[in-house]
Structure 1
Amino acid sequence: MPGPKPDPVENSAALPKHADVVIIGGGIAGVTAALELVDKGLTVAVCEKGHIAGEQSSRNWGWVRLTHRDTRELPLMVESQRLWQGMDARIGGDTGYVRCGVTYTAATEAALEGERQALEELQQYQIPARLLSREEALAQFPGLSLDIKGALYNPYDGRAEPQKAVPAIARAVQARGGSVHQDCAVRVVETAAGRVSGVVTEKGRISCSAVLVAGGVWSRLFLGNMGIELPQLRTKGNVLRTDPVPDGPEGTLKFREFTMRRRTDGGYTIASAMPSRYQLTPDSFRLFKDFLPTLRNEWRNVSLGIGPAFFEALRTPRRWSGVEESPFERMRVLDPVPDEARIDHALEVVKSAYAPFRNATVAQKWAGYIDVLPDIVPVISSTEGVRNGIPGLFVSSGFSGHGFGLGTGAGRLAADLITGTTPVVDPEPFRLHRFSDGSEIRAKEGVIQR
């Protein structure tokens, strides 16, 4: 069953000969950065090897959450939420954003203690989240029967529609004079006098003074061709959506075995809250030391195996030139097969626990690859300061399953860095060279399964 179909975006008429900034990747990180840049008066070209929001930006859960964030992300997430709230009015489009509230249930006392810690982190930002008793939590979802000890409820958490939001923002970029080019892979970045001077795409060259690599799981491969190291792996997320469910809840719910949120069409996005089986690739072994601290915390939640992804990676070239077909032209859209048993189990738990869903039917199932970094915190950064880094080359990638909600703020921060204006938040936690400057690399415990 193929992946979700994002709303269509028409290609801009022609590839420009020049742009101030070229953005590689038409997902949430790329299009929001483009919006911020055109609103700052710059000319921008977005180049996407497939179609806008074709990969994880249309395949995620659609959550816009402040809760269960690494504290290093929280300032940027506060800004992201502010931007989400005003996005529809700003672009004259529909992202599906709603501040609906999310209830995070705790099935054990240990889990409830974790929610107390999460509450303390949120309170530093005057976010009115609160702990609920078992009875209070279940009362928010009449007819729900779950074995829980209590819950954390954050009324500020929300949702948006992944298949609508990114295309709507991309169309707003075009309306402001930016250009969007689909089926247009960037092959290489060119330099002159020691800094970025342009890109070579499969359809021609664009001169520019800055490039943002926002290629999701492809970012490591693209940068590696330039000799720049991004310690990035990928993991798979599995999702289904139902047909409309009469009398379904407005609020979003997370239990240890499933997550669910309402869609604008009246159906629900449901996913397993448990980590998917991780398929080893050659990069898994190359980056073993980088990810070892995270594995020490999360090994109980990681199931390993070798499958098609391993052999696919072996066949993928790691070096190419501007006159050669790139790996991005050979694979336009990653559309992995979902782990049906895992998401079917999640749906069965929902059906058995919640009366409105007893007769729910599945409209679609899909999977997507999530770009993961060793500390589960993204890179939003210049490449200066790392080996083979280039002035004018920037990266926004490695969102580790947190990127959709964080995307609006990530776009703002990337635009600030590219233009040299005062960053909206401290960019230090997101710098690329933290992986090579001797900094301690640590992941917040438990963040992978959230």
Structure 2
Amino acid sequence: MAPELIVVETDANPPPRADVVIIGGGIAGVSTLLALAEKGVSVALVEKGRLAGEQSSRNWGFCRTQGRDQNEVPLALESLRLWDRMAQRVGADVGFTRAGACYLCQTPAEVAAYEAWLENARQWQVQSRILGPDEVDAVLPGSSRRWAGALYTPNDGRAEPQLAVPLMAQAARRLGASVVTNCAARGFETTAGRLSGVVTEHGTIACDAAVLAGGAWSRLFCGNMGVDFPQLKILGSVMRTAPLNGPPELAVAGPDFAFRKRRDGGYTVARRNKYEAHIVPDSFRLLPRFLSAMIRTKQEYRIRPFGRFREELRIPRSWALDQASPFEATRVLDPAPNPAIVEESRRNLIRAFPAFAPVRVAQSWGGLIDTTPDAVPVIAPVQAVPGFFLMSGFSGHGFGIGPGAGRLMSELVTGATPVVDPAPFRFERFGGRAAEPGLAKAA
């Protein structure tokens, strides 16, 4: 069952023209929308289904700097500053609080790994620190285990995915942005080699630039336009509990569980380090580029042979822009969670923190996470197609760093000075190739 989302007003039809068109109504696209609207840029967003209908409402809700890839730390810090101001920006509470985050360690080797991360991250003046066993007990009381240590960041936070994105879109509309849901973008048109319009199922929007923030769909969209984006999907299973008094307020991740307090008094709970990697046609196409990452992180995934193979094999890889696209056939990716993994996360959590024993599972859901070979997103122009920008492949980090990513993309699109160095997020690091005319046939 999909998480329940708040409903906000959207526009009935796309405008005939905007300076910038954003494709995708998740945290990345909507953060960019709001940042551009605050700059006074004429901007429109089209979403094939509903706002935050996929992974942007199905994630854990962590807003953290700790443990990030070093390339993402500056973006995470900027995102926290933006999360601090989010209620003011959108005029409503999105559930953000800096309650802290804690990653628990079972062994001295795990502690050493976090010490190495912290040594590198100190250049960014992060507030993370390593806790010893006694300090863990003081910060996180009630555990049945004696932990070897932890990585602890007191100023990291959490927010509510089901609230944040719709409220951000609503705020952007008040500033003059256009937001159209149930409106799939089929592709883009070019004039003299430069992007000049986005073709949707309800007409073409003339524009100077387009930002693709399509999440798990980005590779398919890019491929139809002749742009090779290496992206795979993994399945995460998550549950939320009924309200429960007593357990900690921090966002916590242990070796085989993770949890964080919710605004409604319950908890979001997941099985940490246990995602499902379904074997699909792209698994074979992209094997050379993902092989080293698969070997390095093999303990974090359960391989599901051909679980989604037939479903994805049936999806067309190319279509004319005057024809219905795969995005219209599947408005919302709503995969079923794995009940065994959900139960395992509940059981592991109770074993580690007995205060969760009375917990009642109120809902569970699955979400498809878009990943790149280096687990770092693309937030960049695609040099082969002037005017085309890509932000995708957040690899499970998108909600927390979404506001900073949106600000960065707004600066790249408008030519402003970037808030952080954009080089680590460039598309061409994957050897991106030029678009091939004729793969997508305009109407």
TM range (shorter): over 0.9
Q: Separation in 1 of the partners of 2:329 and 2:156? A: 39
Q: For residue 419 of structure 1, what is the aligned residue in structure 2? A: 414
Q: How does 1:5-404 map to 2 (within 5 A)?
A: 5-384=4-383, 389-404=384-399
Shift of residue 307, structure 1, vs aligned partner: 3.1
Q: Answer yes or no: is 1:432 the counterpart of 2:427.
A: yes
Q: Separation in 2 of the partners of 1:276 and 1:90? A: 34
Q: Separation in 2 of the partners of 1:205 and 1:302? A: 41
Deviations 1:369-426 (A, max 9, x none): 0000001110001111xxxx21111000000011111101110111111111111111
Q: Separation in 1 of the partners of 2:132 and 2:411? A: 43
Shift of residue 136, structure 1, vs aligned partner: 1.7
Q: Separation in 2 of the partners of 1:230 and 1:353? A: 41
Q: Give the conservation status (yes or no) of the 8 Å contact 1:16–1:206.
A: yes
Q: Separation in 1 of the partners of 2:199 and 2:33? A: 19
The one-letter amino acid paired with 1:23 is I
The one-letter amino acid paired with 1:311 is R
The one-letter amino acid paired with 2:406 is G
Shift of residue 7, structure 1, vs aligned partner: 1.2
Q: Separation in 1 of the partners of 2:177 and 2:162? A: 21
Deviates more, 1:280-289 or 1:302-311: 302-311
Q: Give the conservation status (yes or no) of the 8 Å contact 1:106–1:115.
A: no
| Cα gap change, 1:437 to 1:29, in 2 (>3 Å) | closer
The one-letter amino acid paired with 2:419 is V
| Cα gap change, 1:295 to 1:13, in 2 (>3 Å) | closer
Q: Separation in 1 of the partners of 2:252 and 2:199? A: 45
Q: Separation in 1 of the partners of 2:88 and 2:145? A: 39
Tell me the percent identity. Answer: 49
Q: Structure 2-normalised TM-score?
A: 0.95
Deviations 1:227-280 (A, max 9, x none): 001000000111100000012321121110100100000000000012223111
Q: Separation in 2 of the partners of 1:307 and 1:159? A: 35
Shift of residue 303, structure 1, vs aligned partner: 2.8
Q: Separation in 2 of the partners of 1:121 and 1:96? A: 31
- 3-state SS of the aligned residue for 1:234? strand
- 3-state SS of the aligned residue for 1:124? helix
Q: Separation in 2 of the partners of 1:196 and 1:377? A: 26
Q: Give the conservation status (yes or no) of the 8 Å contact 1:66–1:156.
A: no
Q: Give the conservation status (yes or no) of the 8 Å contact 2:379–2:391.
A: yes
- 3-state SS of the aligned residue for 2:323? coil
Deviations 1:23-51 (A, max 9, x none): 00000000010111111111111100000
Shift of residue 437, structure 1, vs aligned partner: 7.3
Shift of residue 348, structure 1, vs aligned partner: 1.3
Q: For residue 410 of structure 1, what is the aligned residue in structure 2? A: 405
Deviates more, 1:402-411 or 1:245-254: 245-254
- 3-state SS of the aligned residue for 1:265? coil
Q: Give the conservation status (yes or no) of the 8 Å contact 1:127–1:156.
A: no
Q: Separation in 1 of the partners of 2:146 and 2:319? A: 54
Shift of residue 138, structure 1, vs aligned partner: 2.2
Q: Give the conservation status (yes or no) of the 8 Å contact 2:14–2:46.
A: no
Q: Separation in 1 of the partners of 2:24 and 2:387? A: 17
Q: Separation in 1 of the partners of 2:106 and 2:207? A: 53
- 3-state SS of the aligned residue for 2:124? coil
The one-letter amino acid paired with 1:59 is R
Q: Separation in 1 of the partners of 2:140 and 2:151? A: 14
Deviates more, 1:205-214 or 1:72-81: 72-81
The one-letter amino acid paired with 2:35 is E
RMSD: 1.4
Q: Separation in 2 of the partners of 1:142 and 1:74? A: 28
Q: Separation in 2 of the partners of 1:76 and 1:133? A: 28
The one-letter amino acid paired with 1:266 is G
Q: Give the conservation status (yes or no) of the 8 Å contact 1:9–1:52.
A: no
- 3-state SS of the aligned residue for 1:285? helix
Q: Separation in 2 of the partners of 1:71 and 1:410? A: 15
The one-letter amino acid paired with 1:409 is G
Q: Separation in 1 of the partners of 2:164 and 2:300? A: 31
Deviations 1:60-117 (A, max 9, x none): 0000010111111111111111111111112212221111111111001111111212
The one-letter amino acid paired with 1:7 is I
Q: Give the conservation status (yes or no) of the 8 Å contact 2:228–2:432.
A: no
The one-letter amino acid paired with 1:216 is G
Q: For residue 448 of structure 1, what is the aligned residue in structure 2? A: none
The one-letter amino acid paired with 2:185 is V
The one-letter amino acid paired with 1:275 is K
The one-letter amino acid paired with 2:98 is R
- 3-state SS of the aligned residue for 2:99? coil
Number of equivalences: 433
Shift of residue 3, structure 1, vs aligned partner: 1.2
Shift of residue 9, structure 1, vs aligned partner: 2.1
- 3-state SS of the aligned residue for 1:236? strand
